[in-house]
Amino acid sequence: MSVDGWKSVLVLGGIRSGKSGYAESLVADTPGVRYVATGAVDPADPEWLARVEAHRDRRPSQWSTDEVAGHPARLIELIGAARADETLLVDDLGGWVTGLLDPAHQPADDRATIDELVAAVRASAARLVLVSPEVGLALVPTTPVGRAFADALGVTNQAVAGVCDTVVLVVAGQPVRIRSAARVVPAATVLTPTVAEATDTPAESTATATATAAIATTAIAATAIAATAVAAAAEPATTRATLAPPPITPGMTLPMPAERVRTAAVERLGTLDQPGAGFGGLARVIGFAAATQDTPTPRPWESVRVVLVHGDHDGGVAAGDSPQESARRAEQARSGDGALARLAAAAGADVTVVHAPVAGPIEDGPALPADEVEAALTAGWTVARQAADAGVSAILLAACGAGAAGAAAAVLAATTGAEPAAILGRVVGPGARIDDAAWMSRCAAVRDALHRTRRGTRGAHDVLAEYGGGDIALATGLLLGATAHRIPVLLDGPVGVAAALVSRDLAGQARHWCLLPDHGRHPTVRHAADVLGLTPVVDLHLDLGEGTGALAALPLLRNALALAGGLGGHPGIDTASDGDSDTDGDGDTFEVTPFVEPEPAGPGPTDGVPAR
């Protein structure tokens, strides 16, 4: 399955519901789409000809078209023969069923033919977008042929939905996810003033719609919004309030993890039936998960969403980087290629790519206007809210963008007083080539930006506007939104830790929901981790792009949580004594043994007896 969200998707909808337009939007940025048209063209029906012509006119010129009207077997052949690098858009299955019931094809076992279509969809190596009318909401047809069509199409929709990764119902132009893939679902739509098109809900509050309109104005596109994993969907999701973005200002009051439960979870580890000294550094992970889940026996994070923030920067901080290269990396993540996407697929995590506006050169002026900073913060909060609505149990924050690392270093220098040269990482080009000239240009740009703003204020919004730009502002909003919805965030890379530093100044609770699996020995990340009090769990020294270190460590973290939850108590440890502690009221108790200092074996310095 491709990690941008889907390999096969069924798009259902009524007449004029917008289902075809939505299906086309899923592959709008795909250059070589094969459009498979199933409807027959009747030259004697001008209105129908106009509909067909309208469909043809809106297709990109680089798409190819296959006509299969009246030949049901031809569609099955095309799907079966399609290659892995191809994308097929079939519009629609209603036309295919019409051909199936054509008297010219009778007598025919239509159920067997539907089975063949389903088998072809299941086995197809290509990416498939299948459009089909939803007739189940209409009246039962009054004619035999009408009932035969409705029955056959209903059976087809059910069977095809059973083998597609994702099923989307389009109602009045608004896509609503009905079924999601085990890893990810597609949504190549852009956040627009009609918020519901990028979410699961058909309507939103006026405040949210207004905020999203501002996002669209600043060209912040949230694409490939993914859904919850099947494992998380199979059990009741933790109830979270769906919070509209509040005014994001310093002094926000957001929830804290349950620290008492963190302590209880770590103490509980000492009672488990384990042959050695315990979980070592992984005990910290178990305590973190316990506090964020509010239980001393936390569950492994089954539904993990990787949010890849893509935003470029102009000027000296981008020395040695290429916007074309960062765009290619974002596209790789969307299409399931590259290190991040492959590690996400191996870990069963889904990937969301969110685009931020290009930031200006910070040595010459602000990176982003103040109103666009506000819009980016709101966009990040919205992405976190969508993750909460989908039942995501943890978010992994990553970023790619020309100059993003330099901008993150500028944020750190401005907020912590660090020397830019000490926190800027080496610039590594293609072929692992070290570019020291580019590194010096970045140092100079950060130094000049700090000098330019030396008499200005250093509030959180000022830091984002002057140095951070859209990507760090969006990541900050994401951290705040995740905190509000009680979702832990795994940080990995300079943008994430820079956002954590800024979010700390807006809501001090945010950093307590952050975990740093690995710092990659990046000086920016290491310095920010020291300031934030974040200790990395592992030291893999990976340098494969932001997010890859945390994804590589994710199976280890999950295994630790699964083992801690699955091990029983040691038979030699009494966990039910009178002095037991029940920290969360669930009836689970464990023994707390007070420390008693032993009596000294001989005279000490306070005995009044002179030492010999």
DSSP string, 167-197: EEEEETTEEEEEE--SS---------S-GGG
pLDDT band at 244 (very low <50, low <70, confident <90, very high): low
Mean pLDDT of all residues in 298-305: 93
Domains of the chain, CATH where assigned: 8-182 (3.40.50.300), 222-563 (3.40.50.10210)
Q: Measuring CA to CA, which residue among 488, 462, 486 is closest to residue 473?
A: 462
Tokens for 351, please give them: 């990937």
Token pair for residue 609? 């007896």
Q: Which pLDDT score, from 0 to 100, does residue 105 have?
A: 56
Q: pLDDT at position 103, please?
A: 67
Query: Regarding beta strands 64-67 and 8-13, do their DSSP bridges make them parallel or antiparallel, or are they unpaired?
Result: unpaired
According to the model, what pLDDT value does residue 58 have?
Answer: 72
Residue 519's pLDDT is what?
85
Listed in sequence order, the DSSP H helices in 417-522 are 420-423, 436-452, 460-463, 469-484, 494-506
Q: What is the pLDDT of residue 68?
A: 85
Instruction: Say if CB 389 and CB 381 are below 8 A apart.
Output: no
| Residues 454-472, mean pLDDT to the nearest whole number | 91
Q: Which one-letter DSSP state was computed for residue 18? A: S
Q: What backbone torsions phi and psi does residue 127 show, to the nearest 5 degrees? A: -85, 130
Dihedral sign for Cα atoms in the order 185, 189, 190, 191: negative
CB half-sphere exposure, 553, CA atoms < 13 A: 25
Q: Give the mean pLDDT of 116-128.
A: 90
Instruction: Identify residue 375 by its one-letter amino acid code.
Output: A
Rounded CA gap, 453 and 598, in Å?
A: 60
pLDDT class of 274 with cuts at 50, 70, 90: confident
**Residue 180: what pLDDT?**
59
* pLDDT for the residue numbered 217: 32
pTM, full prediction: 0.59
Q: What is the pLDDT of residue 5?
A: 53
What is the amino acid identity at position 481? G
Q: CA angle 507-513-518, nearest 5°?
A: 120
| Averaged pLDDT, 527-543 | 89
- 158-172, 189-203, 301-315, 424-438 — which one is most confidently predicted on average? 301-315
pLDDT (average), residues 501-526: 91
pLDDT at 609 over 60: no
Cα–Cα dist 580/343, whole Å: 43
User: Nearest-CA neighbor of 353 among 308, 383, 291, 286?
Assistant: 308
Give the per-residue pLDDT at 202. 33
**Per-residue pLDDT at 210:** 35
Upper half-sphere CA count for residue 453 (Cβ side, 13 Å): 26
DSSP state of 466: I
Query: How many Cα atoms occupy the beta-carbon half-sphere of 567 within 13 Å?
Result: 18
Report the chain's terminal Cα–Cα distance, integer Å.
78
Element (H, E) at 33: strand 33-37
16 pLDDT band (50/70/90 cuts)?
confident
The reply to whether 546 belongs to the active site is yes
Instruction: Tell me which range, 181-190, 239-248, 516-525, is most confidently predicted by mean pLDDT.
Output: 516-525
If pLDDT is split at 50, 70 and 90, which confidence band does 428 have?
confident
Q: For residue 324, what are the CA distances in angstroms to 147, 330, 351, 441, 490? A: 54, 10, 21, 20, 27
Q: What's the confidence (pLDDT) of residue 101?
A: 81
Task: Give the distance from CA 534 to its chain's centroid.
Answer: 22
Distance CA 392, CA 381 (A): 14
What's residue 84's pLDDT?
84
pLDDT of residue 60: 79
**Taking residues 212-229, what's their average pLDDT?**
33
Highest mean pLDDT among 212-221, 464-473, 569-578, 586-595: 464-473
Q: What is the pLDDT of residue 257?
A: 92
Indicate which residue of 24, 197, 372, 546 is catalytic: 546
Share of the chain above pLDDT 70, in %: 78
Least confident of 59-63, 298-302, 522-526, 542-546: 59-63
336, two tokens? 């399931």
Decide if 470 contacts 374 (C-beta within 8 A).
no
**pLDDT confidence tier of residue 576, bands split at 50, 70 and 90:** low
Pair 241, 485: CB distance under 8 Å: yes
**At residue 289, does pLDDT exceed 70?**
yes
- Quick: pLDDT tens for 348-378: 999 999 999 999 999 999 999 999 999 999 9
**E strand or H helix that includes residue 48:** helix 46-58
Q: Are 58 and 88 in contact (CB under 8 A)?
A: no
Q: Which range is most confident: 213-217, 337-341, 598-602?
A: 337-341
- Say how far apart CA 93 and CA 279 lie, in whole Å: 54
Q: Is the pLDDT of residue 334 over 50?
A: yes
How far, in Å, CA of 593 to CA of 270, rounded? 11
| pLDDT at 486 > cutoff 90 | yes
Q: Is the confidence at residue 595, as pLDDT, over 80?
A: no
Minimum mean pLDDT among 217-231, 331-345, 446-460, 539-553: which range? Answer: 217-231
- pLDDT tens by residue, 167-199: 999 998 888 888 655 333 333 333 322 222 233
pLDDT reading at 421 higher than 80: yes
Task: Name the most confidently modeled range: 210-224, 316-330, 566-580.
Answer: 316-330
Q: Given a cut of 60, is residue 476 above it in pLDDT?
A: yes
Q: Give the mean model confidence (pLDDT) for residues 269-291.
A: 87
Cα–Cα distance for residue pair 422/399, rounded to 1 Å: 22
CA atoms of 383 and 353, how far apart (whole Å): 10
